[in-house]
Structure 1
Amino acid sequence: MIRALDLFFSLFGLLLGLPVLVVLFLVGLFDTGSPIFSQERVGLNKKPFTLVKFRTMRKGTASVPSHLACGDAITPFGRFLRRTKLDELPQLWNVLKGEMSLVGPRPCLFNQDELIRERQERGVFDVRPGITGLAQVSDIDMSTPRLLAETDEKMIRNLGIADYFRYIFMTVTGKGAGDRVRS
């Protein structure tokens, strides 16, 4: 049922949001010269996939978890994208392709060994990663690997249709700070 909802909402979002995606892409061209950011992440069953989103940091910024990145690397337009969570819109493509879900644990980088270990122990990689979830709306980011993995596990165990819609609604209405970046 959740996969059917993911397919419907990602296709609907991409079609309906196409004008917004085009405008953000064009503004991003002027901001960084390269508006799309792609990065290999850990997916379902620990298989790699390429996550796509709008670029919020200058080109050439180190490929590290957001909480380890320097805040000075974020562009002014990138701050807007992060604050409004519009940088995540291209991930609807990842959802449509079946690499992600709208709701699930945020996908980590392969170099986040502690988080990968904590998630492996809790079966978090048995589900598709998501754009949002319990950890995101609870302001828990990847700087606390054990807490994040425990929260992911709790969400997975209890995730039903009502929670699926609740996490999406909370994200769209501004709950959660997203991935924190050092100032």
Structure 2
Amino acid sequence: MIRLLDFIFAFTGLVLGFPILMLLFVIGLFDTGSPLFFQKRVGRNQKPFTLVKFRTMSKDTASVATHLASSASITKFGSFLRKTKLDELPQLWNVLKGEMSLVGPRPGLFNQQELLEQRERYGVYKVRPGITGLAQVSEIDMSTPELLAQTDAKMIASLTLRDYFKYILQTVTGKGSGDRVKN
């Protein structure tokens, strides 16, 4: 049921949001010269997939977890995209392709060894990663790997259709700050 909802919402979001996506893309061209950001992430069953987002940091920023990146790397337009969570919109493509869900654990990087181990320990890789979830709306990010893995496992074990919609609504209305960047 959730995969069907993911597909319907992602398809609808991409079609209806196309003018907004194009506008953000064009503005991003002027901001960084490269508006889309592609990065290998850990997916379901620890299979790699390429996550796509709008670029919020300068092109020369190191490929590290957000909490390890410097806030000086974030562009002015990138700051706006992060605050409004519009940088996440291209991930609807990942959802449409079945690599992600709208709700699930945020996909980590392969170089986040402690997070990989904790998520393996708690069985988090049995599901598709998501754009949002319990950890995101609870302001738990990848800087606390064990707590994040525990929260992800709790969400996976108890996820209902009601929770699915609740996490999406909370994200859209601004609850949670997502991954924090150090100052």
TM-score (norm 1): 1.00
Instruction: Quote the Cα distance in structure 1 between the aligned partners of 2:77 and 2:179.
Output: 16
Deviation for aligned residue 1:118? 0.3
Q: Deviations over 1:5-59 (max 9, x none)?
A: 0000000000000000000000000000000000000000000000000000000
Percent of residue pairs identical: 70
Deviation for aligned residue 1:70? 0.5
Deviation for aligned residue 1:122? 0.7
For 1:152, the equivalent position in structure 2 comes to 152
Post-superposition, which runs of at least 4 consecutive aligned residues in structure 1 deviate over 6 A?
Answer: none
Q: SS at 1:26's partner residue?
A: helix
Q: SS at 1:81's partner residue?
A: helix
Q: Cα RMSD between the aligned structures?
A: 0.3
Count of aligned positions: 183
Instruction: Quote the Cα distance in structure 2 between the aligned partners of 1:178 and 1:114.
Output: 19
For 1:130, the equivalent position in structure 2 comes to 130
Instruction: Quote the Cα distance in structure 1 between the aligned partners of 2:124 and 2:168.
Output: 19
Deviation for aligned residue 1:60? 1.1
Q: Deviations over 1:117-148 (max 9, x none)?
A: 00001110000000000000000000000000
Q: SS at 2:24's partner residue?
A: helix
Q: SS at 2:40's partner residue?
A: strand
Instruction: Quote the Cα distance in structure 1 between the aligned partners of 2:182 and 2:95.
Output: 29
Unpaired runs of at least 5, structure 1: none
Letter in 2 for 1:32: T
For 1:103, the equivalent position in structure 2 comes to 103
Instruction: Quote the Cα distance in structure 1 between the aligned partners of 2:112 and 2:53.
Output: 20
For 1:29, the equivalent position in structure 2 comes to 29
Instruction: Quote the Cα distance in structure 1 between the aligned partners of 2:38 and 2:98.
Output: 16
Unpaired runs of at least 5, structure 2: none
